[in-house]
Amino acid sequence: MEKKQTIGIVAIVATVIAAAVLMFTKDGGFGADAFKDLLPGFGYDWGRDALQFGKNLDIWFMLMLVAFLMIFIRKFEWGVALAVLLSAAASFVVYLGIQQIWFEELWTQQLLIRAVICAITVVIAIGVFLGTCKMWQYLLVGALFSVVYAFIEWLLLGQLTEWTDLVVTDDGGSVLVHMCAAYFGLGVALGIRDKRAFDEPMYTTTHSVTFVWLASMLLWMLWPSFVTSLLPGTIDVTKATITCYMAGVGSVISTYAMCMIFQGKVNPLVYTYAMLCGPVAIGAPLLQVGPWGALLIGLIAGIISTTCFIYLQPWFCSKIGVLDIMGVHNLHGVGGWFGAICVSIVLAASGAGFEASVGTLVMAVITVAVTLVTGAVIGIIVKLTRGDMEICTDDTDFIKNEAPA
């Protein structure tokens, strides 16, 4: 085992041990007292919390589907699945540790949902630099990301409002989830700076792309569970479900139209990604627009994302010097920006005031700055502990017993 890899693994083990010691010190849940807050009369609406169980599972299902959404490179399928599992597991556990130990949160469905949202965010983020780090380093990235995510969540959804008069509107996570994922991933890629990814042959098969189709269609269907998972009232849940599906229908239609206009045929790896831009963009204006406004947002989002996949991707990647392997920025980064801009326009037009109109845009700018910088630092750590890596985007970590070609 290489020296740098050994150091990295030892660092992870030491971190886990330190976290365990801290949890023991603060009685972090190893004994029966971990669930004392579940007793009646504690002052929490446990009935409503129990109803969130289904959405908790739906978001975990969506997280696993993101793996299949990225399984299109013929020689890099199992590695994608394992990278998703490792990064998700590390971020989920560390985020829960931060919330339970530092902020003394209750163990609830709401907390578990927030933790899996953190996990799905880092799973989206690794799509930028998939295959350019060692497999064990996805654990490292997931653990470190959860700290960054918890800080952004604390700052932008709590402290920013307390320190200023700004009002952040991002009920469905256009900024907190999608922009955070895109720009953290870009930051890590910039820190690693492995330009060999540009030269890697990324051939597909009908079988591998069929998985992408299935994942995209199921993600589209499940999206309302994600955007409504933390909403407080039943009326808001109904409104959000309507606007989410209307935006999704809009991007399904406009993405097809743009593929035909630009290339004469449908590129499945563009279509299956860009058709999700409506649900991405509607996250911020989720409760601020009606059904037809949501449809319009979805139509425009599909146009923007498809254009970015076909025309922006080559230029953008050549300028920053790293390859966005899964095109994360074209869906999540651009879609997040569009959602933030839309909610600002809608709030300004409704006379909500300056603080409400610009609050989400300020949140977006801060999110980009924080995630790019912290992502780059983490990327440098990954590069320093990675050691030699002979090949990118390849399933080299597995025992295989395939028949001879």
User: Does residue 36 fall inside a structural domain?
Assistant: no
Contact between 114 and 146 (Cβ < 8 Å): no
User: Does residue 189 fall inside a structural domain?
Assistant: yes
Residue by residue, pLDDT tens for the chain (405 residues) are 566 666 666 666 666 666 655 555 555 555 556 666 665 555 667 777 788 899 999 999 999 999 999 999 888 889 999 999 999 999 999 999 999 888 888 889 999 999 999 999 999 999 999 999 999 999 999 999 999 999 999 988 778 778 888 888 999 999 999 999 999 999 999 999 988 888 888 889 999 999 999 999 999 999 999 999 999 878 899 999 999 999 999 999 999 999 999 999 999 999 999 999 999 999 999 999 999 999 999 999 999 999 999 999 999 999 999 999 999 999 999 999 999 999 999 999 998 888 888 999 999 999 999 999 999 999 999 999 998 877 666 777 788 777 776
Residue 389, pLDDT score:
78
From CA 154, how far away is CA 148, in angstroms rounded? Answer: 10
Residue 50, pLDDT score:
81
Domain that holds residue 222: 53-386
User: Does residue 403 fall inside a structural domain?
Assistant: no
User: Does residue 31 fall inside a structural domain?
Assistant: no
Residue 277, pLDDT score:
98
Residue 336, pLDDT score:
98
User: Does residue 128 fall inside a structural domain?
Assistant: yes
Residue 2, pLDDT score:
61
Secondary structure of residue 171 in the 3-state scheme? coil
Secondary structure of residue 339 in the 3-state scheme? helix
Residue 165, pLDDT score:
84
CATH of the domain at 76: 1.10.3430.10
User: Does residue 253 fall inside a structural domain?
Assistant: yes
Q: How many domains does the chain have?
A: 1
Residue 305, pLDDT score:
98
| Stated pTM of the model | 0.91
Assign 3-class secondary structure to 100-141: HHHCCCCCCHHHHHHHHHHHHHHHHHCCCCCCCCCCCHHHHH
User: Does residue 295 fall inside a structural domain?
Assistant: yes
Residue 215, pLDDT score:
98
Span between the terminal Cα atoms of the chain, in Å: 31
Distances (CA, A) of 71 to 90, 169, 170, 273: 21, 33, 30, 12
User: Does residue 1 fall inside a structural domain?
Assistant: no
From CA 213, how far away is CA 218, in angstroms rounded? Answer: 9
- Can you list the pairs that 395-403 forms with residues at least 24 positions away whose Cβ atoms lie under 8 Å? 395/75, 395/76, 395/77, 395/78, 395/79, 396/79, 397/78, 397/79, 397/82, 397/135, 398/78, 398/79
DSSP 344-386: HHHHHHTT--HHHHHHHHHHHHHHHHHHHHHHHHHHHHHHHHH
Q: Would the CA dihedral through 251, 116, 344, 346 be positive or negative? A: positive
